[in-house]
Amino acid sequence: MKRRFFLTVLLIFALVLVLAGCAKKGESQTVLTRDPGIIEEIEPNDTEETAQLIVAGDTVNGSFSTEDDIDFYRFVLTETGIFTAWTESDIDIYTLDIIFLDDDGAWDDYISGEYINIEDYEGDKKVEAILYPGTYLLELEGYDEGNYVLKTEFEKLD
Protein backbone atom coordinates (compact mmCIF):
# COMPACT_ATOMS: atom_id res chain seq x y z
CA MET A 1 0.00 0.00 0.00
CA LYS A 2 2.81 2.43 0.89
CA ARG A 3 4.64 1.47 -2.25
CA ARG A 4 1.57 2.16 -4.43
CA PHE A 5 1.08 5.54 -2.75
CA PHE A 6 4.76 6.41 -3.21
CA LEU A 7 4.65 5.42 -6.91
CA THR A 8 1.48 7.48 -7.44
CA VAL A 9 3.06 10.54 -5.85
CA LEU A 10 6.24 10.02 -7.87
CA LEU A 11 4.23 9.69 -11.09
CA ILE A 12 2.28 12.89 -10.36
CA PHE A 13 5.50 14.75 -9.55
CA ALA A 14 7.12 13.53 -12.79
CA LEU A 15 4.06 14.58 -14.79
CA VAL A 16 4.14 18.06 -13.23
CA LEU A 17 7.83 18.41 -14.11
CA VAL A 18 7.22 17.32 -17.71
CA LEU A 19 4.29 19.73 -18.12
CA ALA A 20 6.27 22.58 -16.57
CA GLY A 21 9.17 21.89 -18.93
CA CYS A 22 6.87 21.83 -21.95
CA ALA A 23 5.26 25.09 -20.91
CA LYS A 24 8.65 26.75 -20.41
CA LYS A 25 9.96 25.55 -23.79
CA GLY A 26 6.72 26.58 -25.50
CA GLU A 27 6.92 30.17 -24.22
CA SER A 28 9.19 31.32 -27.01
CA GLN A 29 7.14 29.41 -29.58
CA THR A 30 3.77 30.93 -28.64
CA VAL A 31 1.85 31.93 -31.74
CA LEU A 32 -0.89 34.55 -31.68
CA THR A 33 -3.82 33.48 -33.81
CA ARG A 34 -5.63 36.80 -34.07
CA ASP A 35 -5.79 39.00 -37.16
CA PRO A 36 -3.21 41.80 -37.35
CA GLY A 37 -4.35 45.13 -35.96
CA ILE A 38 -3.40 48.33 -34.19
CA ILE A 39 -2.12 47.60 -30.69
CA GLU A 40 -0.48 49.45 -27.81
CA GLU A 41 2.98 48.71 -26.49
CA ILE A 42 2.90 46.76 -23.23
CA GLU A 43 5.73 47.28 -20.73
CA PRO A 44 7.99 45.76 -19.69
CA ASN A 45 9.38 44.80 -23.09
CA ASP A 46 12.93 46.02 -22.69
CA THR A 47 14.67 42.63 -22.83
CA GLU A 48 14.59 39.65 -25.15
CA GLU A 49 12.90 37.65 -22.38
CA THR A 50 10.11 40.22 -21.88
CA ALA A 51 9.54 40.93 -25.58
CA GLN A 52 5.92 41.75 -26.39
CA LEU A 53 4.27 39.14 -28.60
CA ILE A 54 2.88 40.61 -31.82
CA VAL A 55 1.44 39.33 -35.09
CA ALA A 56 3.20 40.04 -38.39
CA GLY A 57 1.06 42.82 -39.85
CA ASP A 58 0.48 44.62 -36.54
CA THR A 59 0.91 48.35 -36.06
CA VAL A 60 2.26 49.15 -32.59
CA ASN A 61 1.86 52.51 -30.84
CA GLY A 62 4.87 52.67 -28.56
CA SER A 63 7.15 55.03 -26.71
CA PHE A 64 10.62 55.36 -25.28
CA SER A 65 10.47 56.51 -21.67
CA THR A 66 14.20 57.34 -21.51
CA GLU A 67 17.05 58.01 -23.93
CA ASP A 68 18.40 54.47 -23.48
CA ASP A 69 15.06 52.63 -23.59
CA ILE A 70 14.98 49.57 -25.86
CA ASP A 71 11.77 47.81 -26.90
CA PHE A 72 11.59 44.21 -28.09
CA TYR A 73 8.73 42.57 -29.99
CA ARG A 74 8.49 38.82 -30.63
CA PHE A 75 6.67 37.30 -33.59
CA VAL A 76 6.34 33.81 -34.99
CA LEU A 77 6.00 32.96 -38.67
CA THR A 78 4.46 29.71 -39.82
CA GLU A 79 5.07 30.38 -43.52
CA THR A 80 7.86 31.77 -45.68
CA GLY A 81 7.44 35.34 -46.85
CA ILE A 82 8.67 38.90 -47.04
CA PHE A 83 8.55 40.60 -43.65
CA THR A 84 8.82 44.39 -43.50
CA ALA A 85 8.98 46.64 -40.44
CA TRP A 86 9.34 50.42 -40.35
CA THR A 87 8.87 53.32 -37.99
CA GLU A 88 6.95 56.56 -38.24
CA SER A 89 7.84 58.99 -35.47
CA ASP A 90 8.85 62.49 -34.50
CA ILE A 91 11.91 61.12 -32.72
CA ASP A 92 15.07 59.71 -34.24
CA ILE A 93 15.28 55.93 -34.39
CA TYR A 94 18.70 54.50 -33.61
CA THR A 95 18.06 50.77 -34.10
CA LEU A 96 15.45 48.66 -35.87
CA ASP A 97 16.72 45.10 -36.25
CA ILE A 98 15.20 41.71 -37.03
CA ILE A 99 16.81 39.16 -34.73
CA PHE A 100 16.78 35.49 -35.74
CA LEU A 101 16.28 33.06 -32.85
CA ASP A 102 17.47 29.45 -32.90
CA ASP A 103 15.37 26.48 -31.76
CA ASP A 104 16.37 27.13 -28.13
CA GLY A 105 15.28 30.78 -28.30
CA ALA A 106 18.86 32.11 -28.34
CA TRP A 107 20.02 34.99 -30.56
CA ASP A 108 21.32 33.47 -33.80
CA ASP A 109 21.76 36.36 -36.27
CA TYR A 110 20.25 39.74 -37.17
CA ILE A 111 19.47 42.14 -39.99
CA SER A 112 19.83 45.87 -39.33
CA GLY A 113 17.35 48.40 -40.58
CA GLU A 114 18.28 51.27 -42.87
CA TYR A 115 17.25 54.91 -42.58
CA ILE A 116 14.14 55.77 -44.60
CA ASN A 117 14.63 59.53 -44.54
CA ILE A 118 18.08 60.80 -43.69
CA GLU A 119 18.54 64.18 -42.13
CA ASP A 120 21.95 64.37 -40.49
CA TYR A 121 21.90 60.56 -40.17
CA GLU A 122 18.71 60.63 -38.14
CA GLY A 123 15.12 59.69 -38.85
CA ASP A 124 12.91 56.64 -39.24
CA LYS A 125 14.19 53.15 -40.04
CA LYS A 126 12.99 50.28 -42.22
CA VAL A 127 14.05 46.63 -42.36
CA GLU A 128 12.87 44.02 -44.86
CA ALA A 129 13.83 40.38 -45.38
CA ILE A 130 12.64 37.05 -46.68
CA LEU A 131 11.97 35.06 -43.51
CA TYR A 132 11.25 31.38 -43.03
CA PRO A 133 9.01 29.74 -40.43
CA GLY A 134 10.42 30.42 -36.99
CA THR A 135 10.56 32.82 -34.06
CA TYR A 136 11.98 36.31 -34.43
CA LEU A 137 12.50 39.50 -32.44
CA LEU A 138 12.32 43.10 -33.48
CA GLU A 139 14.69 45.34 -31.52
CA LEU A 140 13.81 49.03 -31.52
CA GLU A 141 15.82 51.82 -29.91
CA GLY A 142 15.58 55.60 -30.18
CA TYR A 143 17.98 58.44 -29.51
CA ASP A 144 15.47 60.31 -27.35
CA GLU A 145 12.38 59.68 -25.29
CA GLY A 146 9.09 60.04 -27.13
CA ASN A 147 6.40 58.23 -29.10
CA TYR A 148 6.77 56.08 -32.17
CA VAL A 149 4.63 53.95 -34.46
CA LEU A 150 6.06 50.58 -35.52
CA LYS A 151 4.38 49.14 -38.60
CA THR A 152 4.85 45.58 -39.86
CA GLU A 153 3.76 43.73 -42.99
CA PHE A 154 4.03 40.14 -44.14
CA GLU A 155 3.62 38.91 -47.71
CA LYS A 156 3.44 35.14 -48.05
CA LEU A 157 5.62 33.62 -50.75
CA ASP A 158 4.42 30.59 -52.68
Residue 30 is predicted with a pLDDT of: 66
Q: Looking at the chain, how many residues does it have? A: 158
pLDDT digits (tens, 9 = 90+) for 99-152: 999 989 899 999 999 888 656 556 799 999 999 999 999 999 988 899 999 999
Say if strands 146-156 and 81-89 run parallel, antiparallel, or are unpaired.
Answer: antiparallel
pLDDT digits (tens, 9 = 90+) for 75-106: 999 999 999 999 999 888 999 999 999 989 89
pLDDT tier for residue 31 given thresholds of 50, 70 and 90: low
pLDDT digits (tens, 9 = 90+) for 52-72: 999 999 999 999 999 889 999
Residue 143 is predicted with a pLDDT of: 85
Contacts of 151 (CB under 8 A, 6+ apart): 59, 60, 85, 86, 87, 88
Residue 32 is predicted with a pLDDT of: 73
